[in-house]
Structures are given as C-alpha cells and as structure tokens.
Amino acid sequence: MLTIVGIGPGKKEGMTLEAYQALEQSDCIVGYTVYVELVRELFPDKEYYTTPMTKEVERCQWAIAQARAGLNIAMVCSGDSGVYGMAGLICELAGDAMAKDMPELAILPGVTAACSGAAILGAPLTHDFAVISLSDRLTPWETIKRRLQAAVMGDFVICLYNPASKGRPDYLQKACDILLEAGMADDRVCGVARHIGREGQSREVMTLRQLHDFPADMFTTVYIGNSMTRRYGDRMVTPRGYQKDVKI
C-alpha cells in the first residue's frame, strides 16, 4: 500500500485526521528531507527514507518498489499532496500499469499553502484565483510569464509559490515587473505569509510596488489581490460581493 499524504503546513494541528492516521499506520515514511523532519518529531520511532530536492523521481520509484514488496509506505508532501506535490509523479511513474500491478494507491489531500497563508492574511482568496509557481527548474520562464500576464487579463487574485530562492533571488521582482507591464496598478493590495504554521509565522500587507522590493524566500507565499481587494489594517480581503456598504 502506498499513500501520498498532504501534511499541511507541518504541525500536527494542521494535519487532517486521516493524514495523521496514515502516518501512524505506515511501515516507512518517505519524503523530501526538509518535510520529513517536520513529521519525525511526531513519530520518532518510524523508519524514514529521505532524498533531497532534484531526486524526486528516485524517491517515488523507491516508494513504489517498496510498496510492491509489501510494505505500507506513506509518502509525505508539504501542504497538499497534489498541488506541486508528488501525487502527479507517482501517477506518471505508475502510468498505465496503475490499474493493474500497482500496489493499492491512496492520495490524501492536505491544506495547501495558498489556503493556510490566506487564513493568516485575512481572506485574500474569497474570489476566483490563480496559483502560479515562480520556479523555472521544471517550467520555462516564458510559460510562467504568459501565466502572469493571463492572470492580470482575468483580474484573478494571484497566489505565488516558490517566489524566490538563493539561486533565484530576483524572481519575485521579475514577476512584479511583468504584472506592472501588463497594466496592474502599482498600489494593488498585496500580501505575504511567511513560515506558515511554523515557528516565526508572520504576515505583511503592502502595495505591489513594495512587494517588488520585498526580500522573499522559499518560506514565503505571496498574494496579489484582484482589482477589488482591500486592506483592513494588517489584513487583506477580497470581497465576494455579498454586500457593498453594510456597517455593523
């Protein structure tokens, strides 16, 4: 049995009950080194198999092989198991064999960073939104650029994953330039959530111009409001449209 488990931000409180139970019942927990450390505290006596970034294919192949050999394998993903997670690669590797000699496969969803970060900032995602990763390790930058432009055209709220890293320190800046060139106003309400659900969690609401110069990293999730998004103190809210001027 192979279970792909979305663990949410990382702490036990943010996992679903079924995710926690799947980890508890597994023979071995597999994952990216950083995420496995988050669950090791909860289950110190489990067996673990970790691989670093760029070793995703090997990690998934190992997990499938072990499950075929009869072990109950839990593969952990930060946030959701599907959104930029390993569920896709597992399904691809299994391919057309999935319905035949694959071990029983279960995919357990989790709270993705778009949702957990939004809850910290207020309610930026209360209307239609687009989720875009700025990492060009697996996606051509031209594709990312085209999606940013399309998101402006559609007046979507935008949630950015992987906004910057040590090797890509200026990618958020580049993305903001694309949004500005596509006609987005530089006072558009934006926000960032950092270290979601972990030590040092923080939020900050700012304009697009300020976001352009914000020092984002891999622990930052970025929100760019739509044309209706408003700032209330240190929160950002995208109205759904229930009311215009109701006051209480």
Cβ-contact 3, 108 below 8 angstroms: yes
Pick 29 or 157: Cβ nearer its own copies: 157
Q: Give me the least distance between CB of 229 and its own copies, in Å please.
A: 10
Pick 77 or 206: Cβ nearer its own copies: 77
Tokens describing residue 19: 């995710």
**What angle separates helix 87-94 from helix 56-68, to the nearest 10 degrees?**
60
For 7, 9, 127, 128, 145, the CA distances from 218, given in Å and listed in that order, are 18, 13, 25, 25, 19
What DSSP line would sit under 52-63, residue for residue? -TT-HHHHHHHH
| DSSP type of residue 103 | P
Tokens describing residue 134: 């700025």
Pick 185 or 213: Cβ nearer its own copies: 185
Pick 83 or 213: Cβ nearer its own copies: 83
Q: Give me the least distance between CB of 202 and its own copies, in Å please.
A: 15
For 7, 89, 196, the CA distances from 35, given in Å and listed in that order, are 9, 17, 13
- CA 16, 22, 25, 27 torsion-angle sign: negative
Q: Give me the least distance between CB of 54 and its own copies, in Å please.
A: 9
Q: Give me the least distance between CB of 217 and its own copies, in Å please.
A: 20
Tokens describing residue 210: 């300020």
Pick 29 or 117: Cβ nearer its own copies: 117
Q: By three-state DSSP, how is residue 82 classified?
A: coil
Pick 111 or 164: Cβ nearer its own copies: 111
Q: Give me the least distance between CB of 75 and its own copies, in Å please.
A: 13
Q: Give me the least distance between CB of 246 and its own copies, in Å please.
A: 6
